[in-house]
């Protein structure tokens, strides 16, 4: 993300009155994801480099809390890029999943208790 976008995001957090509860982390996801607290995230929204999702999946899987929700954007618009990974993840008994045909296609995964 560019410095301008980071500044815009921070301004939006401020306008929403949420600056004190949001920590913005800037950097490569592959460097940041393994350092975050496992089981501590109730919501993860994935909308970045789709080719990296398979290698990021073990970290993301571990970060989600019980009943945590993962939302994957572009699950219909770029299905051809995601289908191998989606097929693999859909077989994971630790999650329930639903493909929502809104926008560009949102794939929802909820971590089972």
Ligand X SMILES: C[S@@+](CC[C@H](N)C(=O)[O-])C[C@H]1O[C@@H](n2cnc3c(N)ncnc32)[C@H](O)[C@@H]1O
Distance CA 43, CA 24 (A): 15
Cβ 66 to ligand X shortest distance, Å: 26
Task: Say whether residue 71 binds ligand X (CB under 6 A).
Answer: no
Task: Tell me whether residue 46 or residue 89 sits nearer to ligand X (CB atom).
Answer: 46
Spatial contact of 37 and 63, defined as CB atoms under 8 Å apart: yes
**What is the C-alpha to C-alpha distance for residues 56 and 78, in angstroms, rounded to an integer?**
18
Interface positions, 40-69, toward ligand X (CB under 6 A): 47-49, 52
Please, which of residues 9-38 interact with ligand X by CB under 6 A? 28-30
Q: Which residues bind ligand X (CB under 6 A)?
A: 1, 28-30, 47-49, 52
């Amino acid at each position: 993300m560019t410095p301008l976008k980071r500044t815009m995001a921070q301004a939006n957090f401020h306008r929403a009155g949420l600056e004190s509860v949001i920590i913005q982390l800037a950097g490569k996801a592959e460097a940041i994801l393994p350092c975050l607290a496992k089981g501590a995230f109730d919501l993860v929204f994935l909308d970045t480099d789709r080719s990296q999702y398979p290698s990021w999946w073990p970290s993301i899987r571990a970060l989600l809390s019980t009943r945590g929700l993962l939302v994957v954007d572009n699950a219909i618009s770029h299905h051809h890029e995601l289908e191998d990974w989606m097929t693999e993840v859909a077989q994971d008994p630790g999650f329930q999943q639903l493909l929502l045909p809104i926008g560009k296609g949102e794939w929802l995964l909820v971590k089972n208790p």
